[in-house]
Chain A
Amino acid sequence: MYHCNNCKVAVDDKICPLCHSTTEPIECKNDITGYPFVKVKMNKKGLAKKMYLALEALCAFILLLINYRFSHTLSWSIVGLASISLGYIIMLIFFNSLVSSFSKISKSGCAIFVYLVFIDYFFKINTGWSVYYVLPILIIGETVMNFFFTVINHRNFQNYMIAQIVTIILAFLSISVGSNFLLTIIALFLSVLLFASTLFFGGFKGIAEMRRRFHINPEE
C-alpha cells in the first residue's frame, strides 16, 4: 500500500486517485480487492447508426439540391428523404436486441404503412389507396405472420395473443376509416378466427395469459 500525504489516506497506487499527487510506500497489507481493467468495447451498432445518419444527411442535401436546381420545387426529393428515413427507422427496429423477431417485423410493417400513407397523400393522385387497400392487406399479412409464429413457437403461443387482439382492433378500425370492404371483412374474419382458435386450443394457459396481460388476479 501507499500513503498520500495530501489526502492523508492509504491508496493502492503510486499516484493518489483523489489528488493525483505521488504517494509514499507504507508497510500495510492490502486486503481490499480492486476492480478489473475494463476493455473498451467498440459499439458497432452505434457506429453503424452514426454512419447511416451522416450518409442520410449527405443524400438529403444532394437530393434537395438537384431537385431545386432543375424544377425549383422540392416534390420528389421529399419522397427520397422519407425513403431514407424509413430505412433508418427499420434499421433502428432491427438493431434493438431486446425485442423479438415478431415484434421487429410488426413494427417495420407499421413504419412502412405510415410511409405509404405519406406517399399517398403527398402526391395527391388517387388519394386514399393506402388506407383503402394497404391497411387491410397489412392486417391480413400480420394475421398470417402471427399464425406462423404461433405454430412454430407453439410452446410460447401466449406471447402472440396481444398482437392478435391488436389486429382485431385494427380490423374494426379499418372498417370505420373506409377501407376496402371485402378485404377488411377477410382481415376481420381471419384475425377473430386466429384469436378464437388460440384461446380454444390454448385452454387454461391462454385464459391465464389474458388475465396476466389485463392484470386481473383471480385471487384478489
Chain B
Amino acid sequence: MNNQTPNWGKLDNTAHLFPVISTKKTSNVFRESVSLYEEVIATLLQEAVEKTLQSFPGFAVHLKRGLFWYYLEENPKPFPIVAEEDDYPCRLIDYKKNNEYLFSVSYYKDRINLETFHALADGVGAKVFLKALIYNYLNLSHDEINEIPFDQDISLEREDGFQQCYTPGKISKSNYSTLNALHINGRKLFNNGLSVIEGSLSVKEIKSLAKSLNVSINVLLVATYAYAIYLTKYGNKKPIVISVPVDLRFFFNSSTTKNFFSMANANFIPTKDDYSFEEVVEIVKNSLIAQITKENFRKTISYNVSNEQGSIVKGIPLVIKNIGIKYTYAKAAKASTTTMSNLGVMKFKEPYNEYVNKFSAMLPMSIGQNIKAAIASHGDLLSIIFTSSMRNSKIQKEFFRILSHKSIKIRIVTNGENNVSL
C-alpha cells in the first residue's frame, strides 16, 4: 500500500456551512472574471493554471467528509482541461468532471473566468488567485514581458483568520438579525437558468456622485439597490435588508486567502409613503456605519467560533450537524432580501496593467434570494453585475435608471435571458 500521506487542513469557520447548503439551485460558486484586450489562448491558459497551482497549494485540494467535520485534502489529480464557457455562470461544480477541484477556470473570447466554491475561499481570496493566474498567463502569452516574481500584492497565506482573531472567554450573544425581511419572488427562468445583466460605468463619474451625497461608492450603490427594490415593490412595508459582505482582513490585519468575511446588513424599513433617493441613501449610510465596526465583527467572530469549538458540537456526528446547520441557515435566510458584494479594485503591476480591460464578479443564488449583485472595478471601469433566477428584470431596470437619471453613463450587456418578455 502507498504510504505517502496527503496534506490536509480544516475548513475555516464560515466554510463549514457551504458543503451542507449547496444544491443545484444554490451552488455557492461565485465567479470572478478578468477581460483582456486580446483573445484568450486556451493552451496557454491551461499552462498558466497549472503554474499558478504550484504557487497556491491551498487551492489544489479536494473536499472530504470526516466523521465530525468536512476537511480539505491535497488533490493528487491533475487540473482538468480548461474549457470555453458554454453554460450559465455560477453553476454547481461537477466534482467528477472537475477532478474534484473546488474551482474551475474557463474562458470566453477575451475573458478569463474563475469560478470558486465558497468553502475554498471568499471573493478576496479568489481575487488573489485570479491575479496570479493573469500574471502567469500574460507572462506566457507575451515574450516582451519580463517576468516579475510575485510580491506583496500576492498573498499565499492560508491561515484561518477567524481562529486567529478569536479570544476564548465570555461567549458573546448572537448579533444576527431576526427580522423577517422582504423576499423578492417571481416567475423563474427555464431549466435553472441565470440571467446576467451587467452595467459598466465610469469610476470617476460614480465617485463624484457619491461625493456629492457625502457617502462612499459602496454605500451609494447599496442605497441605489435598496431604492430600486423600494420603487419596484411600492407599498411594501416589510424591511428591505441588503446583506453586504465585509472583508475582515482590513480590520484584523490578515492576508489569508481562506474565507475571512462577515456580513453587515443595510436595513431600510419603509414606514411612510414616499421616500426620496437622498433619504434612502442617508438611512442606508447610517445603518451600515452602525454595523461596520471592529468591535461588532469581533463579537460575531467570537460567537461563531465559540459555537464551532463547543465540545458538544464537536462530538456530534457530521450527519446530525448537517441537519442543524441546514435548519439554522434556512431560518437566518429569512432575515435578508438580497446581497450586494463589492469585490473592490483589481490592480495589476505595470506592464501587466495595460493588457487588462476589466474586472467583474457574479454571485450565485441562495435560499430566499433570487437576485444578487456584485461590484468590481479595474482602472476607470466599474462593473455591476446582477444575477437573477427570475424572468422579471424590473429591479435591474430601476437600478440603472436611477443612476442614468443622475447623469451616469451606463453600458448594458446581458446574457440574453431577460431579452424577451413573454
Contact = CB atoms under 8 A, between A and B. Distances in A.
B246 to A, nearest CB: 28
Contacts of A36: 84-86, 108, 415
A208 B199 contact: no
The listed residue with most A CB atoms (<10 A of its CB), out of B5, B8, B418, B420, is: B5
Interface stretch (B164-172, B206-214, B335-343, B398-406): B398-406
Contact of A32 (B67, B88, B200): B200
A176 interface: no
Contact of A215 (B68, B87, B412, B414): B68
Interface stretch (A5-13, A83-91, A113-121): A5-13
A124 interface: no
A170 interface: no
Contacts of A49: none
Interface residues of A, number: 46
A19 B400 CA distance: 11
Interface in B85-99: 85-89, 94-96
Given A11-B411, A36-B108, A214 B67 contact: yes
A213 B66 contact: yes
Contacts of A126: none
B389 to A, nearest CB: 14
Nearest to A97: B96
Nearest to B411: A10
A32 B418 contact: no
Contacts of A33: 35, 108-111, 413
Given A9-B411, A157-B1, A205-B2, A18 B109 contact: no
B67 A162 contact: yes
B13 interface: no
A44 interface: no
Residue among B8, B67, B199, B412 facing the most chain A CB atoms (10 A cut-off)? B412
B110 A30 contact: no
B191 A40 contact: yes
A11 B73 contact: no
Contacts of A157: 1
Contacts of B66: 212-215
Contacts of A19: 397
A45 to B, nearest CB: 11
Most buried by A among B68, B109, B401: B401
A70 interface: no
A1 B393 CA distance: 21
Interface string B46-89: 00000000000000000010111101010000000000111111
A20 B414 CA distance: 13
A33 B412 CA distance: 11
Contact of A39 (B4, B64, B86): B86
Nearest to A198: B1
Contacts of A202: 1, 3
24 contacts: A8-B404, A8-B410, A9-B404, A11-B411, A11-B412, A12-B412, A15-B419, A17-B414, A19-B397, A20-B419, A32-B358, A33-B111, A35-B108, A35-B414, A36-B84, A36-B85, A38-B87, A40-B191, A41-B191, A204-B3, A208-B5, A214-B66, A215-B67, A215-B68
Closest 8 CB pairs of A and B: A35-B415, A18-B397, A8-B404, A208-B5, A17-B414, A10-B411, A9-B410, A213-B66
Interface of B: 1-5, 8, 10, 35, 64, 66-69, 71, 73, 84-89, 94-96, 108-111, 190-191, 193, 196-200, 314, 357-358, 393, 396-397, 400-401, 404-405, 409-416, 418-421
Interface of A: 1, 7-13, 15-20, 28, 30-41, 43, 97-98, 154-155, 157, 162, 201-206, 208, 212-215, 217
Given A41-B191, A97-B96, A154-B2, 8 more contacts: A7-B397, A9-B411, A12-B413, A13-B419, A38-B87, A38-B193, A155-B2, A212-B8
